Amino acid sequence: MSTAVTPPGNTNGSAVAEMRPVTVPDFLSARSRGVRLTMLTAYDYTMARLLDAAGVDGLLVGDSLGMVVQGSDTSLAVTLDEVIYHTRLVARGVRRSLLVADLPFMSFQVSPQQALESAGRLVKEGGAHAVKLEGGVRSAAAIEAITRCDVPVMGHVGMTPQSVRRLGGFRVQRDEKRILEDALATQQAGAFAVVLECVPAELAQSVTAALTIPTIGIGAGVGCDGQILVAHDMLGLFDDLRPRFVKQYADLGPAIVRAAETYCREVRDGSFPGPEHSFR
């Protein structure tokens, strides 16, 4: 088994960090090697460094930053410049993870040329290894234009957050014909992987079987080739939206509140800073 992706059961962060970087070919060969891919979002240097050291195979600078970082109700207001900025921060903390950056709303829909130029900026200015964009059939021309210039593309079908207004909210998508067509179009256009979001587990498994590129599930069951979660959801840092598909692996939000409360109390009662925190 290649050491480019996290070996099962390996929890030694320092050992994982010494492995060679994860590449697009590693993603493409993961299924044949029996490796399940792991992805999480990251938006800054500190979080990227920690998640990278944990052995996460891919880090996504998602336009979900509009919600979990900027506090908006959707991701629609996120700009390309903002994604470039956050990608640059994450790139400084990455040693081995494949770094994927989102093409935000209206940065690729106008034309294939616009999509190519936006993708190029994410790579040149942000330091992304690959880009991700939403839509299947409707985005095929954009994917083709980007991949022709050797920029790897990850697709995204099913529940596409940039379509939230048309869909009437963040809803499970059950149109089997459309989702399969979108996934196949994404593959045919040259994408190296595709995210399946909020689709029934059985459907996601069928789509995965129909594709040769890996599927990365979020709310799509265990039949995908890998999984992705928003790190803030997984760590208990963001509770404005609680999707059913999120498993919370830590409850850091309340821990941070308690730490800040203790700090405030000690400052107010004069116990911090103590002599050990002061200079003579």
Cβ atoms of residues 87 and 126 within 8 Å = yes
- Residue whose C-alpha is closest to residue 3's, from 243, 29, 161: 29
**Distance from C-alpha of 185 to C-alpha of 141, rounded to nearest angstrom:** 10
Answer whether the bond into residue 243 is a cis peptide, omega within 30°: no
Cβ atoms of residues 245 and 198 within 8 Å = yes
Cβ atoms of residues 180 and 155 within 8 Å = no
**Distance from C-alpha of 71 to C-alpha of 125, rounded to nearest angstrom:** 25
**Distance from C-alpha of 151 to C-alpha of 128, rounded to nearest angstrom:** 10
- Residue whose C-alpha is closest to residue 97's, from 63, 127, 76: 127
Report the SS3 class of residue 99. strand
Mention every residue, 6+ apart, whose C-beta is less than 8 A from residue 274: none
**Distance from C-alpha of 252 to C-alpha of 35, rounded to nearest angstrom:** 29
Angle between the 176-189 and 201-210 helix axes, to the nearest 10 degrees?
30
**Distance from C-alpha of 121 to C-alpha of 81, rounded to nearest angstrom:** 9
Residue 204 in tokens: 């996601």
- Point out the residues that are catalytic: 197
